[in-house]
């Protein structure tokens, strides 16, 4: 560790955090924090982290290394990662250390930071742009100005940049668990069109587990083109950036409302809210982690959920077109919407986890039931 280059994180408010360099030499992006104790590879490869530098609140990362199977997409999307301490891999599945993985993909890393102090700073002052660099010749003042000049997440359509460029089919179920039996084959029952705003692979696996043949389409696909596929249901995926800025998304979802069952997750949930006439807003520091408590208002059940978002639906702007189905128990923000008359629902959290608990996995079964009911009534 002594041979590693020194590096700094300088925030837009002038705060400076020093440590040693991992991976790439520099990154500029929105600095956020994640409270998960595990799953750093899934976090790095989640397209929702486009343009962000992720601070891992838990002090030890890297003990399971990295491998090809745990990625949520083809490459990392986070531009940087900040750690208290990186561990050498001690897992038989590991093919590359976390440091090696960051270096391979050019993702800048910073180790040796008091991440508790940094997280407290972001909670107090809010998520903000920052510059992570090994360049010791540039002054902190100059780096502060550079961070302030970086674009805000508000108004950015990042989903259009990470969406698939081609239509493709998906039928592969969740891979066999390492210590469990091989999954039973599931007969294909439904055809689902997934609108890709920056999806995670685990979502496609879970849909396939419910007997879905999934057609994945680009985010700009029109309602007419989606309906021409004659789907049993439409799935609105997660993704990065400002939901109100995603080109054409609000109008497309509004045009689909009531014509086919819909299920939205994270950014898809926010876009569903916009299509219903609600407004969205940028949160002070967002929810990112695998330990967020959410209450189902219909059943009273509390689920521990995985989350990754910096925007939320404004409950006061929702009107009577839908009702809030779930709330966050930490800050009472909207965590779910239900539109029974339109056979549509959404959640702000990630029932597919990756990383995180599977408390809410049953929501994929709920979507299947909704499609089965629609088919029965057709």
Is 266 part of the annotated catalytic residue set? Answer: yes
Catalytic residue (choose from 121, 269, 309, 350): 350
Residue 352 falls in the annotated catalytic set: yes
| 111, 266, 303, 326: the active-site residue | 266
Tell me the backbone φ, ψ of residue 215, rounded to 5 degrees.
-105, 115
Mapping DSSP onto H, E and C, the string for the chain reads CCCCCEEEEEECCCCEEEEEEEEECEEEEEEEEECCCCCHHHHHCCHHHCCEEEEECCCEECCCCECHHHCCCCCCCCCEEEECEECCCCCCCCCECHHHHHHHHCCEEEECCCHHHHHHHHHHHCCEEEEEECCCCCCHHHHHHHHHHCCCCCCCCCHHHHCCCCCEEECCCCCCCCCCCCCCCCCCCEEEEEEECCCCHHHHHHHHHCCEEEEEEECCCCHHHHHCCCCCEEEECCCCCCHHHCCCHHHHHHHHCCCCCEEEECHHHHHHHHHCCCCEEEEEEEEEEEEEEEEECCCCCEEEEEEEEEEEECHHHCCCCCEEEEEECCCCCEEEEEEHHHCEEEECCECCCCCCCCCCCHHHHHHHHHHHHHHHHC
Q: Which residues does the annotation mark as catalytic?
A: 266, 350, 352
């Amino acid at each position: 560790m002594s041979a590693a280059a020194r590096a700094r994180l300088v925030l837009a408010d002038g705060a400076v955090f020093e440590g040693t360099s991992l991976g790439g030499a520099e990154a500029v992006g929105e600095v956020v924090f994640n409270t998960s104790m595990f799953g750093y590879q899934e976090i790095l490869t989640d397209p929702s982290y486009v343009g962000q530098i992720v601070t891992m609140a838990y002090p030890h990362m890297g003990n399971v290394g990295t491998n090809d199977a745990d990625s949520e997409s083809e490459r990392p999307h986070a531009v940087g990662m900040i750690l208290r301490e990186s561990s050498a891999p001690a897992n038989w599945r590991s093919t590359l250390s976390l440091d090696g993985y960051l270096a391979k993909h050019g993702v800048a890393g910073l180790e040796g930071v008091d991440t508790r102090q940094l997280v407290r700073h972001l909670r107090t002052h809010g998520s903000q742009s920052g510059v992570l660099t090994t360049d010791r010749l540039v002054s902190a003042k100059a780096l502060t100005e550079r961070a302030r000049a970086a674009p805000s997440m508000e108004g950015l359509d990042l989903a259009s940049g990470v969406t698939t460029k081609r239509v493709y089919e998906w039928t592969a179920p969740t891979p066999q668990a390492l210590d469990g039996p091989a999954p039973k084959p599931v007969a294909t029952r439904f055809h689902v069109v997934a609108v890709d705003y920056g999806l995670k692979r685990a979502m496609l696996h879970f849909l396939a587990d419910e007997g879905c043949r999934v057609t994945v389409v680009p985010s700009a696909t029109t309602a007419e083109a989606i309906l021409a596929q004659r789907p049993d249901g439409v799935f609105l995926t997660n993704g990065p950036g400002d939901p109100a800025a995603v080109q054409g998304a609000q109008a497309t979802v509004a045009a689909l409302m009531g014509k086919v069952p819909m299920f939205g997750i994270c950014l898809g949930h926010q876009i569903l809210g916009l299509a219903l006439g609600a407004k969205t807003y940028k949160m002070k520091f967002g929810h990112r982690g695998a330990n967020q408590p959410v209450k189902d208002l219909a059943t009273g059940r509390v689920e521990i959920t995985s989350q990754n978002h910096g925007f939320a639906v404004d409950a006061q702007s929702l009107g009577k077109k839908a009702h809030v189905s779930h709330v966050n128990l930490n800050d009472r923000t909207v965590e779910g919407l239900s539109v029974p008359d339109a056979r549509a629902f959404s959640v702000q959290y990630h029932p597919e986890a990756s990383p995180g608990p599977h408390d809410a996995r049953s929501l994929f079964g709920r979507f299947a039931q909704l499609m089965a009911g629609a088919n029965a009534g057709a």
